A and B are shown apart, each in its own frame.
Chain A
Amino acid sequence: MAIILFVGFVAFVLWLSFYLGARTRTSNAYYAAGGQIHWGVNGIAFAGDYLSAASFLGICGMIATVGYDGFLYSIGYLAGWIVALFVVAEAMKRLGKYTFTDALDAKFDSRGIKLAAAISTLIISIFYLIPQMVGAGVLVEPLLGLAHHWGVLIVGAVVITIVATAGMTSTTYVQFIKGGLLIIFSTVLVISVLGRGFTTKPDQGGKVQYYEYASMPAEMSGGQLTVTEPGWDVVEIEEVGVTKTKIARFALLDNGGARTWWELEKKPTGLLLQETQSVIVTPDGQKTINGSPASDGNQLRQIGNVEILRGEKMAPSGRMTPFSFLAGMSDPNTTIRRWQNAKFTDESENAVTVYFPVLTTGNKFMRPGLKFKVEGSPIEKLDFISLMLALFCGTAALPHILIRYYTVPDPASARKSTIVAIAAIGFFYILTLFMGLGAMMNGVVPPADNNMAAPLLARSFTELLFAVISAIAFATILGTVSGLIVAASGAVAHDLADRYMGISMSDQTKVKVGKIAALVVGAFAIVLGIVFKGMNVSFLVGLAFAVAASANLPSIIMLLFWKKTTAKGITASIFTGIVSALVLIALSPDLFKQFGLDPTTAPIPFTNPGIISIPLSFTVLVVVSLMTQKKDEEDAEAEAA
């Protein structure tokens, strides 16, 4: 069913592209859909562009594992649209032709701005492309049973075909269809969650038996750990730092030859061994999961459940209202079983990953603090502010969002389509809270990759819903990647080749160059999608927002509101924003961790660069503009002469 739906959807998208491609003759039609898209269609297409893999897969997965902190992304992403509506929308439409560079450069006609803005568009688009392609790979594994790289290749090939055939017109209609379907079927999924009712022993509608994790007492005497239960022998004990302040102890136990890792906890009643899930990879590549060789039938169990609901061990069943659902989750007498992981190398040089449960009360789960340490050190607090700043400022600076303002006929349509987008995206983001919490409560979260939480929540209801949701999730990626590749190809063909290098091109040649650029960028995205397999989708998108907010937003804002802004000021600001954001990201603890380095040795103590790079970019623009006031006027006069 999933395969039929998926193939059917992809075939429809390709047909639409060829159909609309036959009508695309001019660069105006290719890059800006002729500026004739209806604002209502454009508004939903905005939602389609914006609700990428990060929104659907990443946020739901993050809410399922860290609760409210995942919802912070929903809040920040939506709030950013207010900047787009009140400050940027109509002005961008009035100033530009095809690309964000056109708008920035409208007043100056500066080669520096053309180069800087085109490079910025390319870098941000590529940053944003990586998580989409990684998400595609993640999705095809359970959907089609294909390896990660096949998913990336399929998305790449389909998107290149879409973009190379019809450009912005087909991209817009693909986004419109996908955005609409995503919102409709996410609503169906949330209604299904509320209809199923609360459960403390999730069994996925009777499909998967609820697994009770065992615990057993242990004793420590003379530095030797022994298990009270007969038949269990302690092989070794490891101490692992799982956070800056928390050290966990794990014991490898042998039971008749089967070896599993248990978490050793100190309780008021004595020592307790708590069952975990573990993946052990031997130096020669043999993989065991939970004590048995890895196979199709032996994979990590899906996780997440409400342990106690409002003080009751057995949750009452029956329908819930949206309010009673959230009230139940937020209750201090509700206990949620979350999971964390620890990675280490054991005494036999095996690479071990242990997934172990952590109990969190509902009131803590449903407020900021589990992922972002709002009660932590000043640096951790600064990191939180930095993230919220980047999310707020990033939306109005994303190139694939900005180019959508050129597809409508006039500034009023740009405004109205932004309002439709806010309504559609806002509604969807409210749904993410229910989908994420629903995935956790129904125990469908894969421990090693929470990106699949929402599609697997759908599977817990029916295969049909899973197939539809997965096909839409795949289309989500297709649509976003299409928009990004159009933006990137516009930057190459229009901004760099035509306007920066001054290569004289006919209208049709310009379209041809754009299509070749789409092919190259698409191929590059395929390679990156394969190389960056396993990276967290939301993490990467958050960074793309920070780069966009640092590189583009200061220029847009100052151009509109400060008359002394000069071309050199804008150019310097864009380069400063890109370089400072990228350097801060490259030296951050999260990236060190991602590449297997010790995060405590990272020179920059926080992960989100926005708090430094955005003000720095503003400052450079002001300083350079003030320094080049006269120079710019002279240059303009010389050019006029």
Chain B
Amino acid sequence: MLHEPAAQAGEDFSAAYKTRLGVQMFIPYLLFYAGFVALSLASPQSMEAIVLLGMNLATVYGFALIVVALILALIYDGLCRAREARDKAASIADAAAGAAAETAATDKGEAN
């Protein structure tokens, strides 16, 4: 039985980095979300406080949970793209260096 993806993709050299980064960015958001739930339970009255442009804390915090999710997602994508480009360039350079070394070895063998 096959397990391969529906479309074949090249090797992902940055997978470990992206997994680690994902967890590192997930934890602050989780705490931000948990803070919302905790505040709603511990001090629901404080959610009524007007904090920004006439809006109360509940509305501002709710919107912030949505907007911050998008901002974190964009930062994550930017960091992943940069790393993917760097790792891809490094792998191409490695492959080129390997090929050059192989060619040099072959040439040397032929010369001998």
Contacts and interface: CB of A to CB of B under 8 A. Distances in A.
B44 A97 contact: no
A422 interface: yes
Contacts of A38: none
A523 interface: no
A78 B3 contact: no
Interface string A312-347: 000000000001101110111000000000000000
A631 interface: no
Given A330-B55, A409-B9, A86 B65 contact: no
Nearest to A385: B37
B54 to A, nearest CB: 3
B98 interface: no
A86 B69 CA distance: 11
Nearest to B45: A367
A85 B1 contact: no
Contact of B59 (A90, A366, A385, A423): A366
A388 B37 CA distance: 7
B58 A366 contact: yes
B109 interface: no
A411 B9 contact: yes
A78 B73 contact: no
B4 A78 contact: no
A328 B55 CA distance: 8
A392 interface: yes
A385 B1 contact: no
A422 B73 contact: yes
Interface string A414-425: 011011001100
Contacts of A367: 40, 44, 47-48, 56-58
Interface residues of B, number: 50
Given A97-B4, A374-B41, A368 B70 contact: no
A369 B44 CA distance: 8
A91 B41 CA distance: 35
Q: Interface size class for chain A? A: 35 or more
Interface in A44-96: 68, 71-72, 74-75, 78-79, 81-83, 85-87, 90-91, 93-96
A93 B3 contact: no
A368 B26 contact: no
A228 interface: no
B67 to A, nearest CB: 7
Contact of B69 (A33, A81, A369): A81
B15 A330 contact: no
Nearest to A407: B6
A327 B9 contact: no
Contacts, number: 172
Given A82-B26, A411-B9, A423 B84 contact: no
Given A71-B62, A330-B54, A426-B67, A410 B10 contact: yes
Interface stretch (A9-17, A98-106, A134-142, A525-533): A98-106
Please report whether the interface of chain B is mostly helix, strand, loop or mixed according to DSSP: helix
Contacts of A79: 29, 33, 65, 69
Interface string B1-44: 11111110110100100110011011001100100110011001
A86 B76 contact: yes
Nearest to B58: A367
B4 to A, nearest CB: 6
A194 B41 CA distance: 32
A374 B4 contact: no
Contacts of B65: 75, 78-79
A25 to B, nearest CB: 14
Contacts of B6: 28, 31-35, 97-98, 406-407
A412 B76 CA distance: 12
Interface string A21-36: 0000000100111111
Given A90-B15, A109-B3, A406-B6, 17 more contacts: A75-B65, A81-B69, A82-B72, A97-B6, A109-B1, A326-B59, A330-B59, A367-B44, A367-B57, A374-B44, A385-B37, A410-B9, A412-B80, A415-B76, A422-B73, A423-B70, A433-B62
Interface of A: 28, 31-36, 68, 71-72, 74-75, 78-79, 81-83, 85-87, 90-91, 93-98, 102, 105-106, 109, 323-324, 326-328, 330-332, 363-364, 366-369, 374-375, 381, 384-385, 388, 392, 406-412, 415-416, 418-419, 422-423, 426, 429-430, 433, 498-499, 560-561
9 contacts: A78-B66, A85-B76, A94-B12, A94-B15, A327-B53, A375-B44, A411-B12, A498-B1, A561-B23
Interface of B: 1-7, 9-10, 12, 15, 18-19, 22-23, 25-26, 29-30, 33, 36-37, 40-41, 44, 47-48, 50, 53-59, 62-63, 65-67, 69-70, 72-74, 76-77, 80-81, 84
Top 6 nearest A-B pairs (CB, nearest first) are: A327-B54, A35-B7, A35-B6, A410-B9, A32-B6, A86-B22
